[in-house]
Amino acid sequence: MEAAQKRVTKIERSAVAFGENQIRPLTKRRVAAYARVSTDSDEQFTSFEAQVDYYTRQITANPDWTMVEVYTDEGISGTNTKKREGFNRMIADALAGKINLIITKSISRFARNTVDTLTAVRQLKEKGVEVYFEKENIYTMDSKGELLITIMSSLAQEESRSISENVAWGKRAKCEEGKVYLPYKQFLGYEKGPDGQPQIVEEQADTVRLIYKLFLDGLMPSGIAKRLEAMGIFSPAGKSRWQPGTVESILTNEKYKGDALLQKTFCVDFLTKKMKRNEGELPQYYVEQSHPAIITTEVFDEVQQELKRRREARYVGRSGCFSSKIICGECGSYYGRKVWHSNDKYRTVIWRCQHKYNNGEPCKTSHVTEDQIKAAFVAEMNRVIASKEQVLADIGMLIATLTDTREMEEKESAARKELEAVSASMRKLVDAYAHAMIEQREYDDRYAGLLAQSQVLEEQIVRIGEQCEQRRARKHELDAFYKVLKSTGPILEFDEELWNVAVESVLVHEDGKLQIKQRIRI
């Protein structure tokens, strides 16, 4: 049987395709342009306006084109496209069929990230949307377009990496020189001065000082935030609402005492701009007296000591002024806040041992209401106020005792001098060993002895410093209590400010009795 003859039939094309010669369809092309500058400087703004004007005139001058829009992004980096609203809106409009051709200055203006560039170009290509890069003279519908785009995008990405590394190097160099930069737009209390260094904004500085005072008076960050909101004071971001975390960041930032810890964070990815807290990966630099202080070193150190004390006592204060102050007299656990009948008219707030049912047999201590706590506090405070003059005299004597730190300062000075002498001996020993004046065994024995001696002295200096800080914190507590007590007569109702400065804890006994333990024990 004879094999069938193969037959090929050519089917002529019925539509005009885009090719190397850019053959255009008969209808007008809907054309858009994309312009971007990556900084907010005046020079770049001029360039930005020039780009917009250039593309507007270019598109409207072509009779075969219909102007869609000049999409813009101002003051945004091109390393990724996540936050570029103009770019993302342009891509969405193109994919929706509103654009046939996009014109842009160069691949680096479009995106410096190879992945973002190719992803966008391929998405547009699937929908028949072409992109023209003027500087490189590349049309994405061209047969050579994607290869050239890949090469050019990679070069642009490396350029971005180089810029990022240069910026990081510049920042490290400034850190080594002790130059301080603050994010002024969201940093309370300072503005950039004529010399480029931080200068104090007095109105904002008063708020910072108030935050430190309220904390040392006993308020927690959450309570301070509420107080600031009630006073109508705006947050560093210019908002009426304060977050406790914002208050705590102000309380722990060394820049408010005029010092600066530099390179706290660093960029781990130049494309995503992801930042990471520096945990020893890079060197840090601590600059003392780098700029004017809003808070004295003594007050700042007192606050850090008090923060430490509260953390150790688990005094987190998330449920108001009673949090972490009510203690079970049986198991020693803190009482937690509970709400009974939360959705009906019998709604009641009570406090109960948090571990009441955790150890098999429940604790025998009962729950207490906030009214019971307040009543016990009012009774205890009125007892103290009844002998106010004697209490104030005793507090005055304690303050005088705590203020006298001459003996501790003399001990610290003596320890520092001894440490200097030990360090000098260690240097002489190393020098003698380097010049072969002593044997290895003798060197090892003497060096070990001197090292142990220096470690003991260093620990002694740290211990004396901590004792001084504790004294200062104790003095501040006494000062606050003295001031409040002096101006307070017999009280008829609960006073939260007095509670904060006066009460350390409330012990709940098995018989239901509440024992108030004062922070100021005379």
The residue-averaged pLDDT of 150-166 equals 60
The residue-averaged pLDDT of 279-302 equals 76
pLDDT tens digit sequence for 401-435 = 777 778 888 888 898 899 899 888 888 888 887 77
Q: Which two tokens stand for residue 149?
A: 């785009």
| Position with higher pLDDT, 318 vs 32 | 32
The residue-averaged pLDDT of 476-502 equals 80
pLDDT for 171 beyond 90? no
**What are the structural domains of the chain?**
29-163 (3.40.50.1390), 201-312 (3.90.1750.20), 327-518 (1.10.287)
Q: What angle do CA 149, 155, 160 make, to 5 degrees?
A: 120
Q: What SS3 state is found at 342?
A: coil
Rounded CA-CA distance 113/199 in Å is 39
Q: Which two tokens stand for residue 363?
A: 């604790």
* Residue 207, pLDDT score: 92
DSSP-assigned states of every residue in 207-275: HHHHHHHHHHTT--HHHHHHHHHHTTPPPTTS-SPPPHHHHHHHHH-GGGGT-EEE-SEEEEETTTTEE
Q: What angle do CA 79, 81, 83 make, to 5 degrees?
A: 105
Rounded CA-CA distance 248/190 in Å is 18
pLDDT for 252 beyond 50? yes
Q: Which two tokens stand for residue 117?
A: 């560039």
* Residue 315, pLDDT score: 44
CB 178 within 8 A of CB 187: no
* Residue 24, pLDDT score: 45
pLDDT tens digit sequence for 210-233 = 998 888 776 778 888 888 988 889
For strands 285-287 and 260-262, give the pairing: antiparallel
Rounded CA-CA distance 386/404 in Å is 30
Q: Which two tokens stand for residue 173?
A: 């160099």
* Residue 206, pLDDT score: 92
pLDDT for 32 beyond 60? yes
User: Which string of b and e fits 454-490 if b means at least 16 CB within 10 Å?
Assistant: beebeebbeebeeebbebbbbbbbbbbbbebbeebee
pLDDT tens digit sequence for 269-290 = 444 456 566 565 556 667 777 7
DSSP one-letter code for 352? E
Sheet (strand 348-353) strand order:
335-340, 348-353, 368-369
* Residue in 70, 72, 119 with CA at minimum distance from that of residue 99: 70
Q: What angle do CA 72, 77, 78 make, to 5 degrees?
A: 75
* Residue 263, pLDDT score: 58
Rounded CA-CA distance 323/316 in Å is 7
pTM of this prediction exceeds 0.75: no
* Residue in 95, 58, 91 with CA at minimum distance from that of residue 73: 91
